[in-house]
Amino acid sequence: MPVSGLPPYDPANIFARILRGEIPAKKVAETEHALAFHDIAPQAPVHVLVVPKRAYVSLADFAATASDAEIAGFWRLVASVAKELTLELSGYRVLTNMGVHGHQEVPHFHVHLFGGRPLGRMVPSGEG
């Protein structure tokens, strides 16, 4: 069982295909360790995804197995994209979905960067 409790990494997942250049993405920024691109179905005026370049299923997997340089490089890219997109003054939200309760759809670790309007409460009230 992999560390995240999710199935093993599937190299056919959509973000792996974007990273290999097999399908297009609207790229925002790229470093040695990570890639940022616009979400295909934006939920805010700014909705960017940031993914590490190497294969990690989830945050749990990334935190447990990525090198310190990858982890630092990843988070620095998240913050620098937010700055480049002029979100620092107004504010923004960074979110990751992990596993079943987190409603993670793509099994390659990523964070969502949202901004450009007031984002409301962090988690909608719901059942359970």
Residues acting as catalytic residues: 110
Indicate which single residue of 25, 36, 51, 87 sits in contact with ligand AMP (rule: CB under 6 A).
25
Q: Minimum CB separation from ligand AMP for residue 103, in Å? A: 6
Residues in a beta bridge with 36: 29, 50
Q: State both tokens at 48.
A: 């960017």
Residues in a beta bridge with 92: 115
Residue span 40-79 as binding mask against ligand AMP, x where in contact by CB under 6 A, dash where not: xx-------x------------------------------
For tokens 């359970």, the residue is 128
Contact segment (CB under 6 A) with ligand AMP among 34-42, 52-60, 86-94, 119-127 equals: 34-42
Question: Which stretches does DSSP call E strand in 73-128?
Answer: 92-95, 111-115
* Residue 104 is a binding residue for ligand AMP (CB under 6 A): yes
Indicate which single residue of 105, 121, 122, 128 sits in contact with ligand AMP (rule: CB under 6 A).
105
* Residue 100 is a binding residue for ligand AMP (CB under 6 A): no
* Residue 14 is a binding residue for ligand AMP (CB under 6 A): yes
Distance between CA atoms of 52 and 109, rounded to whole angstroms? 7
* Residue 16 is a binding residue for ligand AMP (CB under 6 A): no
Residues 6+ apart with CB under 8 A from 128: none
Distance between CA atoms of 16 and 6, rounded to whole angstroms? 16
Distance between CA atoms of 72 and 61, rounded to whole angstroms? 15
- Binding footprint of ligand AMP on the chain (CB under 6 A): 14, 25, 39-41, 49, 97, 103-106
